[in-house]
Amino acid sequence: MQKISNTEIYFIENGINSNLRADGRSRNDYRHFSLETGEIIHASGSARLKISDTEVLVGVKAEIKEIKNAQSNNDKQQEDLKRFIFTVDCCQSASSEFTEQKRLDQYNIELAKQLERLYSHPSVVDVDKYLTIVPGKFYWNLCIDAMVLDSDGNLLDALSIAIRAALYNTVLPKIKVITSEYQEITFEVSEDPEDVISLKDAIENVPIFITLNQIGSQSSFIIDSTLQEELCINSKLCIGINQKSMICSIQKSSGMEGLEPQTIIQMIKSAKQIGVQIISTMDKALKLNP
């Protein structure tokens, strides 16, 4: 497991206070990342993201969900509304931190729940336009499985960006609905690989996470932390931002200290700027390479 001594923490903290991190970046600098889509043929959509040493692979599988009781009670209704099902799996080979099985399970669930919260609002994807087969009865459910292959810090950001790219890459086959005489509904799934609905335009409002780590004094926070920096954080705020600068999710985590309300406001402001910039750069790059 990665460990760090007090004097190293002191060195890193002071560097961040003077806006020069251990590897020469400033507080708001993101590392270079490479994105690749469409690697997995059997999935409806996939993407692979590499930020320095952090490597994440995401696959999207679509399945048809039937809503049986129209007049179900509240919670059932919520379950039925969920169009996205997230699973995160950090391979034990990803990092020596992940050797304890129980901790690993907990970590996987934590990440999956955070992503679920990010996509919890119905405005994320226009369900009626893209994911509806028969309104009220049959919908497309997207099972999003993310695998962490290697870890060098900043996992949640990498996961959210890779998921967004995977959704961009997702194609759903066109379905013809045939209602037989006895009110039975059958589907005719088009076999033509060209006859598909692409979700390229559906991801307009899909948000990504920006993780802000507060290190050292209250007012200094960094984005895109390396593994070494993550050992020095006082607290972490993960903020979900979409293209329209709307804030889709906030969660504070892994903090031994609290945050002052002023700092939170500044962090949200920073995250907004950075998030919008990343999404626009990403979209541009994705459009150039279909």
217 three-state secondary structure: coil
Work out how close the CB of 134 gets to other proteins at its nearest, in angstroms, rounded to a whole number.
19
| Short-list 290, 289, 48, 42, CA closest to 143 | 42
Q: Find the binding residues for other proteins in span 245-264 (CB under 8 A).
A: 245-261, 264
Binding status of residue 270 toward other proteins by CB under 8 A: yes
Work out how close the CB of 176 gets to other proteins at its nearest, in angstroms, rounded to a whole number.
30
Q: For residues 99-132, b (16+ Cβ closer than 10 Å) or e, as one string?
A: eeeeebeebbeebbebbebbbeeeebbebeebbe
Rounded Cα–Cα distance for residues 50 and 64 (Å):
31
Residue from 69, 181, 193, 288 touching other proteins (CB under 8 A): that is 288
φ and ψ of 274, to 5 deg? -65, -40
Work out how close the CB of 21 gets to other proteins at its nearest, in angstroms, rounded to a whole number.
7
Collect all residues with Cβ–Cβ distance below 8 Å to 282 and sequence separation of at least 6. Answer: 35, 161, 164, 165
Residue from 144, 148, 202, 286 touching other proteins (CB under 8 A): that is 286
Tell me the one-letter amino acid at 232.
C
Longest dimension (CA), the chain: 77
37 three-state secondary structure: strand
Work out how close the CB of 190 gets to other proteins at its nearest, in angstroms, rounded to a whole number.
26
Collect all residues with Cβ–Cβ distance below 8 Å to 7 and sequence separation of at least 6. Answer: none
- Tokens representing 273 are 């700027």
Binding status of residue 26 toward other proteins by CB under 8 A: yes
Q: Find the binding residues for other proteins in span 122-151 (CB under 8 A).
A: 122-124
Q: Which among 139-147, 168-176, 181-189, 241-249 is the span making contact with other proteins, rule CB under 8 A?
A: 241-249
Binding status of residue 15 toward other proteins by CB under 8 A: yes
Q: Find the binding residues for other proteins in span 32-61 (CB under 8 A).
A: 32-37, 52
Cβ closest to other proteins, residue 141 vs residue 228: 228
Work out how close the CB of 182 gets to other proteins at its nearest, in angstroms, rounded to a whole number.
29
Rounded Cα–Cα distance for residues 175 and 187 (Å):
6
Q: Find the binding residues for other proteins in span 90-119 (CB under 8 A).
A: 106, 109-110, 112-113, 117-118
Cβ closest to other proteins, residue 20 vs residue 178: 20
Work out how close the CB of 285 gets to other proteins at its nearest, in angstroms, rounded to a whole number.
5
Helices (H), 153-216: 155-169
Binding status of residue 277 toward other proteins by CB under 8 A: yes
Residue from 74, 101, 183, 186 touching other proteins (CB under 8 A): that is 74
Cβ closest to other proteins, residue 177 vs residue 285: 285
Q: Find the binding residues for other proteins in span 183-222 (CB under 8 A).
A: 205, 219-221
